[in-house]
Structure 1
Amino acid sequence: MQTEANNQTSIAQLAAQHGLGLIPETITINEIGLDFRVAIATAHNGERWVLRIPRRSDVMPRATIEGRLLQRVAPLLDVTVPDWRIHSSELIAYPLLPGEPGLSIGLDGSLDWHVDVEDPTYTHSLGEFLAQLHSIDHRQVADTGIEIRTPDEVRQAIADDITRVSSEFQVAASLLDRWNTWLADDGFWPATSALTHGEVYPGHLLLTDQKIVGVLDWTTAAIGDPAQDFAFHRVLVSDEAFAATVQRYIEHGGNVGPKFAEHCAELYSISPINYGIYALTTGDPAHVRAAAAALNPEA
Structure 2
Amino acid sequence: MVTPEVRGSDQEIIAALARRHGLEPVGEIEWNDLGLDFRAAFMSDAEGTDWVLRIPRRPDVWPRAENEARVLALLKGRLPVEVPDWRVVAPDLIAYPRLAGTTAVTVDPATKEPTWNIDKDNPAFVESFARTLAALHGIDPAEAGAAGLKVSSPEQARRAFADDLDRVKRELGIGETLWQRWRTWLDDDASWPPFTTLVHGDLHVGHVLVDETSQATGVLDWTEAEVSDPAIDFIFHLMGFGESGLARLLDEYEAAGGRTWPGIRHHVNERLAAFPIKYALFALISGQDEHLAAIKGQLGVDGESTSPAT
State the TM-score, normalizing by the size of structure 2. Answer: 0.92
Which consecutive segments of 4 or more residues in structure 1 shift more than 4 A?
none
By how many angstroms is 1:127 displaced? 1.1
- In structure 1, the partner of 2:243 is 239
Tell me if the contact between 2:104 and 2:208 (Cα under 8 Å) persists in the aligned partners: yes
Cα gap change, 1:177 to 1:116, in 2 (>3 Å): farther
By how many angstroms is 1:115 displaced? 1.9
Secondary structure of the 1:188 match is coil
Tell me if the contact between 1:120 and 1:241 (Cα under 8 Å) persists in the aligned partners: no
Distance 1:178 1:117 in 2: 31
Q: Structure 1 vs Structure 2: percent identity of aligned residues? A: 38
Distance 1:75 1:12 in 2: 31
Cα gap change, 1:182 to 1:120, in 2 (>3 Å): same
What are the residue-to-residue correspondences of 1:92-131 with 2, within 5 Å?
92-107=94-109, 108-131=111-134
Q: Structure 2 residue aligned with 1:155, among 148, 155, 158?
A: 158
Cα gap change, 1:93 to 1:160, in 2 (>3 Å): same
- In structure 1, the partner of 2:179 is 176
| Deviations, residues 144-190 of structure 1 (Å, cap 9, x unaligned) | 33221111111111111111001122322111111111111100011
- In structure 1, the partner of 2:262 is 258
Distance 2:142 2:158 in 1: 22
Distance 1:170 1:135 in 2: 37
By how many angstroms is 1:228 displaced? 0.9
Q: Structure 2 residue aligned with 1:185, among 183, 188, 209?
A: 188
* Structure 1 runs not aligned, ≥5 long: none
- In structure 1, the partner of 2:52 is 50
By how many angstroms is 1:197 displaced? 0.5
| Deviations, residues 34-55 of structure 1 (Å, cap 9, x unaligned) | 1100011111221100000011
Tell me if the contact between 1:22 and 1:41 (Cα under 8 Å) persists in the aligned partners: yes
By how many angstroms is 1:240 displaced? 3.0
Aligned length: 297
| Deviations, residues 122-151 of structure 1 (Å, cap 9, x unaligned) | 111111111111111123221333221111
* Structure 2 runs not aligned, ≥5 long: 305-310
- Matched AA of 1:181: T
By how many angstroms is 1:3 displaced? 4.6
Cα gap change, 1:180 to 1:144, in 2 (>3 Å): same
Tell me if the contact between 2:138 and 2:197 (Cα under 8 Å) persists in the aligned partners: yes
- In structure 1, the partner of 2:283 is 279
- Matched AA of 1:223: V
Distance 2:285 2:80 in 1: 35
- In structure 1, the partner of 2:307 is none
1:76 maps to 2:78: yes
- In structure 1, the partner of 2:226 is 222
By how many angstroms is 1:71 displaced? 1.3
Distance 2:100 2:230 in 1: 26
Distance 1:224 1:238 in 2: 23
Distance 2:7 2:253 in 1: 47
1:135 maps to 2:138: yes
